[in-house]
Amino acid sequence: MSSLGQYNIRFLCCFTVLFLSSIAARINLCSDLPFNSPSPSESNSFDDTLSLRKLNFDGHISFDELHHAAKDFGNRHRHYPLAILHPKSVSDISTVIKHVFQMGPTSALTVAARGHGHSLQGQAQALRGIVINMELLKKPEMHVHAGKQPYVEVSGGELWINILHETLRHGLAPKSWTDYLHLTVGGTLSNAGISGQAFKHGPQINNVHELEVVTGKGEVLNCSEKQNADLFYSALGGLGQFGIITRAKIALEPAPMKVKWIRVLYSDFSVFARDQEYLISSKHTFDYIEGFVIINRTGLINNWRSSFNPQHPLQASQFNSEGKTLYCLEMTKNINMDEAGTINQDVETLLSQLSFIPSTLFMSEVSYLEFLDRVHLSEIQLRSKGLWDVPHPWLNLLIPRTKIHDFNKEVFGNILTDTSNGPVLMYPLKKFKWDNRTSAVTPEEDIFYIVAFLSSAVPSWTGKNSLQHILAQQKRILDFCKKSNIGMKQYLPHYATQEEWKVHFGSRWETILRKKHAYDPLAILAPGQRIFQKAMHFSQ
């Protein structure tokens, strides 16, 4: 979920006792210690391997070349699985999970679904377990359904970029996106899926008509608002805890031809926040709204010139950002066939309501595809320089609106003052656009901000650019949020103990336990999330 754009390389480099007593024999639900998967004996590992080899699949299961499934985009955790399932059908996924479930608590095997590998903290890894390569699941084949309420039916392993290409052929596109499109449907729907359209359409999990889910018992269930609704809303934003999403029907809307892409700068955070909140609350507004924080970026505007045109070239050339913390507001306005002649006037009217620094107005006009896939261009550049496969210690926070000014003052006034080691996103979202029946957790306020620290740490970097320094800064940020009782929630959450997860889910924790017991009673699924640990009963 990063809005990397065309920035320079350093800026770029940078998801009750009674109740417990009824299920504690199956799942370790009470440990306050860091979770580690049980260490099976060599004989148990051999028995597990032998039993898996006897299973029949449309695809196949492999026991070597495991290193790809033992890493992710975060590039900080490596847990090698016992095997990788390469499925050709949903039946393959059901077969392997049902097999592990039927083995019962005498087996240490767990199962993790791995999409495009963009987890940050090993969430899609399974130590000595089975990793499912979801990208190989191509059934059902993608099919676009036009009509009054258009939708596209896709495999849970399909990439959003492929969905965009296919739906655009029909003049349609999904309503809500993530900033980076080379992610799988099942992966983003298991978290939430947010970007600059979420203020308008809600996250991606709010734009799904139906799912097919394989539960922790190996059951294959179709679910929607009217069928198996509990599972439907549990799986959406459920971090993979209640089932693996293998198919989805995603809502579509008419796609624009092009977009007017705009960036402006602010030096006053209060004005920046006020303008953002005004825009997301207005009936007539932009179609995409994001913001980010810029710390000590000399010559920033010059870096935009390759993709944007300054409204006032002379004034822009004289603007000096050195040594200042600035705030960028990034917006787009869709250009449709019947509105092409009035788009400039619409944009001018909207901009006239804002209080940005006039000399920093930059605009561009690009295709809808080019805008939505903008981060991929940066990926290509970074890969060519060997700066993509590095540690990414990202931290994504949801901060209540009433606390965002305190957060800004402490974090960008005292903690991050010299560099941010990568983009820092900051923009508001509206809670009523998030369906509270899903498993996703947000702060208890009508408006909250996503603040995403998208850091990169090249191994050779030292001092303020080192991984250790970045992690130390993040700890200071988290400590401040806790001590100040800000009411923060993590997006793409990661915690070391179950007590921390209880705090994260708050009053919803007992509901999470009920759902886990219903759909994954042996805690087989998504062990890398470290919420539940599979309990072991060793035979004598």
Active-site positions read 118, 179, 290
520 CB-side CA count, 13 A? 34
Is 92 strand, coil or helix? helix
**Residue at token pair 């219903």:** 518
Residues 6+ apart with CB under 8 A from 281: 430
- The number of residues in the chain equals 540
Contact 257, 154 (CB under 8 A): no
Cβ-based burial of 236 (10 A; exposed 0-12, middle 13-18, buried ≥19): buried
Residues 6+ apart with CB under 8 A from 332: 196, 259, 260, 261, 262, 286, 287, 288, 371
Contact 133, 65 (CB under 8 A): no
Question: What's the token pair of residue 373?
Answer: 């896939």
What are the backbone dihedrals phi and psi of residue 411, each rounded to the nearest 5 degrees, phi first? -70, -45
What CA–CA distance (Å, rounded) separates 113 from 117? 10
Using alpha carbons, select from 121, 328, 93, 132 the residue that is nearest to residue 219.
Answer: 93
**Residue at token pair 């890969």:** 383
Contact 59, 95 (CB under 8 A): no
Is 247 strand, coil or helix? strand
What CA–CA distance (Å, rounded) separates 239 from 441? 11
